Amino acid sequence: MDSKKKIIIKEIYYWKENNLLPEIYCNFLLRLYSEGEEIEKHDANQMIQYFKAMLMILLALLLIALSFVVIYFTQFSPSMQILIMVGITGTLFFVCYKLLKRDLLLAHIYVMVTAFMSFITVLHMHSLYFDNNHLYLGVFIFILCLTWVYIGYRFKLQYLCIAGGVGIVLFFIFQFM
């Protein structure tokens, strides 16, 4: 294959990765110019990306499992449990932030997992320190929902805005009824 075709194929891969052309057109052009040679190399790259995504999902699931082990099956002090939970949630938030900057679909899974972990952390913190005072639980959940709305607005995540908004509405309904 001559150098001109290699440059064209490289450009088509760039178009495909950055969604400059629809994927169907890019696949057609790749088959046309590569004559079947480069497609196998790109499929191997897709498999590597698939395995990286699966490892990231496995990491998120392991962090959730670790948090439940810390809460229910260890004899750590309450402040140590909260510190570990905040650390896990912070780690998930950091990974989520990095993935959102790259605009990957996997980032949305991490957003949901991070929202779930932040909610579990708030509930656990309330049950350890303010067990009988439901006003604090309402205030913590209200602040968490406001945070979700802000992050959803900031990163244009409509589902996070909706979840935060529903939480705020439910807070007011249950607080004043």
Q: Which residue has the higher pLDDT, 132 or 136?
A: 136
Supply the mean pLDDT for the chain. 86
Read off the pTM: 0.71
> For position 120, what pLDDT does the model report?
93
In the chain, the percentage of residues whose pLDDT exceeds 90 is 40
3-state SS class at 45: helix
CB 66 within 8 Å of CB 88: yes
Q: How do the domains of the chain map onto residue ranges?
A: 1-37, 53-175
Average pLDDT over residues 66-70: 91
**What pLDDT band is residue 131 in, cutting at 50, 70 and 90?**
confident
The total of other beta-carbon atoms located within 10 Å of residue 141's CB is 19
> For position 167, what pLDDT does the model report?
94
**What pLDDT band is residue 103 in, cutting at 50, 70 and 90?**
low
**What pLDDT band is residue 44 in, cutting at 50, 70 and 90?**
low
**What pLDDT band is residue 27 in, cutting at 50, 70 and 90?**
confident
Indicate the length of the chain as a whole number: 177
Distances in Å between the Cα of 9 and the Cα atoms of 14, 73, 76, 118 are 9, 55, 57, 45
Average pLDDT over residues 98-123: 88
